[in-house]
């Protein structure tokens, strides 16, 4: 939604709104950006690890099925295992994609704020 709004030129930056509300400086805005992107970073970095965990859980029953010569049980458990890791990697990729664009957009907004502060300081 944010990408669509930015393309149309109707996006209102939450960073600039935060700046107007609080009057904080550049360092505080950088901290605000980090807090805003924190959950996306956590998801992008932890989803592959959780996918590995979700892959290992059905491997136990798959190995037991192998011992019993149960080909159907092996297949079912391996399907679950590989589906879990693929789902986790897709989720991590989507989160990383969103994180990358949001970070760039927020840094562009930060630069605009810094430029306006510099112009206001130089004019006064």
Q: Is it the case that residue 124 has pLDDT exceeding 70?
A: no
- List, for residues 8-57, the tens digit of each pLDDT value: 989 899 999 999 999 888 899 999 999 999 999 999 999 999 999 999 99
pLDDT of residue 26: 87
Q: What is the pLDDT of residue 122?
A: 64
Note the pLDDT of residue 61: 92
Sort residue 17 into left (φ over 0), alpha (ψ -120 to 50) or beta. Answer: alpha
pLDDT surpasses 80 at 123: no
pLDDT digits (tens, 9 = 90+) for 69-90: 999 999 999 999 999 999 999 9
Torsion of CA 111, 112, 118, 123, to 10 degrees: 170
Do the Cβ atoms of 26 and 114 come closer than 8 Å? yes
Going from N- to C-terminal start, the domains of the chain cover 40-116
**Cβ proximity of 54 and 85 under 8 Å:** yes
- For 9, residues 6+ apart whose C-beta sits below 8 A from its C-beta are none
SS3 17: helix
For residue 79, the tally of other CB atoms under 10 A from its CB is 12
pLDDT of residue 38: 97
């Amino acid at each position: 939604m944010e990408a669509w709004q930015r393309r149309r030129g109707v996006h209102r930056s939450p960073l600039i709104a935060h700046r107007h509300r609080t009057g904080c400086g550049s360092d505080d805005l950088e901290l605000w950006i980090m807090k805003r992107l924190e959950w996306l970073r956590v998801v992008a970095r932890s989803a592959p690890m959780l996918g590995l965990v979700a892959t290992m859980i059905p491997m136990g029953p798959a190995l037991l099925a192998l011992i019993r010569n149960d080909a159907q049980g092996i297949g079912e458990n391996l399907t679950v295992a590989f589906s879990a890791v693929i789902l986790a990697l897709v989720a991590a990729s989507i989160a990383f994609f969103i994180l990358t664009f949001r970070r760039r957009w927020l840094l562009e907004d930060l630069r605009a704020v810094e430029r306006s502060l510099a112009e206001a300081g130089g004019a006064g």
